[in-house]
Amino acid sequence: MQVPVPHNIRQISPYVPGKPVQEVERELGISSSLKMASNENPLGPSPKAVEAVRNLLGELHIYPEGSGFYLCQALGRHYGVPAQQVILGNGSVEIVEMSARAYLNRQANAVFSFGSFALYPIACQIMDAPIKAVPMRERNHDLDALLDAVDEKTRLLILDNPINPTGRYIPFADLQSFLERVPGHVLVIVDEAYKEYADAPDYATVQPLLARFPNLMVLGTFSKAYGLAGLRVGYGFAHPEVIATLHKVRSPFNTSSAAQVAAMAALEDQEFVAKGVALNAAERPYLTQGCRDAGIPVVPSQANFVLIDVPMPGEQFFQAMLREGVIIRPMANNGYPHSLRVSVFHHEGNERFLEAAKKILGR
């Protein structure tokens, strides 16, 4: 191949998704495997969302509404945000990618925590932008260190809350104090993909702070609590000027018609969301305590997954779990070579994981 690849693209370590369940079963000669690797909703999608997509099937020859007008209106009504401050993405990560395209270049850097969501650095590297990956403190964002990394050329500061993959979180009051100290020339992106599952008394979305901080953007998604991961629809709230800037670099028709109608229907089905949140609230402590009872350290989580540590390379444990028919996520690429992320599942699935883990570790 003689077409040269830019140096910044050559240096990217691509995001590695898990193999399809069917392929894992074929390779290992197993069946009825359990996927606990991708933080998907064990209840599936809202029946109302499924019906909305079914009703759309006869219109698949029509392009989607380009800006997601009606879904932006629905999100604005639900969250109390003016529709002109809402933007949609093919998953919330696409909005991070838009932000990188809009605000970063070789002279403009980005700051984030090393060991948080793996796609943040990739979005920045694509723009050949300098990146400052700040070490975490006890697997949580080190806000003082993040602030120290900001300089006059910083344009993006990205943090997730709760954090993927550690499950830790920053209390609302601490995050508000942090935003007060961030210079106005830095767009702070707070990714709240797992906000629905956070139940700590001092956790809250920072969405109410949008009016006070014009350099704040808040992200959410329909992939987790709403059970629409297969349709890839996320959303962002920000100052109208930020939204207008992102529309300049947004791909046309970036959310499908099916994604838009399903998300609108799911947004109205808060009973379904509450059911999934309640399941997670019951099973996350069970899974956490089960791991600790088996001598497996667990990071306290506010999401729909837990991060565990094992006394062997994470990849080795992952392969052993595969042979038991349980698929989890090794986190070496995030800087945790002995850690794995385990999605919270229904009770029977969590029991199956615990039994397999104890078998492998001889506990």
Extents of the domains making up the chain: 7-44+271-361, 47-269
Which of these, 161, 175, 160, 171, lies nearest to 121 by C-alpha position?
160
Question: What span, in angstroms and rounded, lies between the C-alpha atoms of 115 and 141?
Answer: 9
Does CATH place domain 47-269 in 3.40.228.10? no
Query: In DSSP terms, which residues pair with 237 in a beta bridge?
Result: 86, 218
Torsion (CA) 312, 316, 319, 320 in degrees, nearest 10: -50
Q: Please, what's the b/e burial string for 300-314 (b: 16 or more CB within 10 A of its CB; e: otherwise)?
A: ebbbbbbbbbbeeeb
What is d(CA 255, CA 39) in angstroms, rounded to the nearest whole number? Answer: 21
Q: What's the predicted TM-score (pTM) here?
A: 0.94
Distance CA 110, CA 159 (A): 11
pLDDT by residue for the chain (363 residues), tens only, comes to 789 898 888 888 877 776 677 877 777 777 788 999 999 999 999 999 999 999 999 999 999 999 899 999 999 999 999 999 999 999 999 999 999 999 999 999 999 999 999 899 999 999 999 999 999 999 999 999 999 999 999 999 999 999 999 999 999 999 999 999 999 999 999 999 999 999 999 999 999 999 999 999 999 999 999 999 999 999 999 999 999 999 999 999 999 999 999 999 999 999 999 999 999 999 999 999 999 999 999 999 999 999 999 999 999 999 999 999 999 999 998 999 999 999 999 999 999 999 999 999 998
pLDDT for residue 125: 94
Question: How many C-beta neighbours within 10 Å does residue 355 have?
Answer: 14
Cis status, amide bond into 162, omega within 30 of 0: yes
Q: How far apart are the C-alpha atoms of 125 and 104, rounded to whole Å?
A: 10
Sheet holding 339-343, edge to edge: 298-299, 305-309, 339-343, 329-330
Q: Are 205 and 219 in contact (CB under 8 A)?
A: no
Contact criterion met (CB below 8 Å) for 58 and 204: no
DSSP codes, 105-126: BTTBEEEEETTS-THHHHHHHH
Q: Could you give the C-alpha distances from 209 to 176, 249, 267, in angstroms and in order? A: 8, 25, 22
Helix axes 92-103, 119-126, angle to 10 degrees: 30
Where in the chain does DSSP place strands (E)? 34-35, 86-89, 109-113, 131-134, 154-160, 187-191, 216-221, 234-238, 298-299, 305-309, 326-327, 329-330, 339-343
The pairing of beta strand 187-191 with beta strand 154-160: parallel
Whether the Cβ atoms of residue 307 and residue 227 lie closer than 8 Å to each other: no
pLDDT digits (tens, 9 = 90+) for 205-258: 999 999 999 999 999 999 999 999 999 999 999 999 999 999 999 999 999 999
Which of the four CATH numbers 3.40.640.10, 3.40.50.150, 3.90.1150.10, 2.40.50.140 does domain 7-44+271-361 have? 3.90.1150.10
Q: Is 188 helix (H, G, I), strand (E, B) or coil?
A: strand
SS3 35: strand
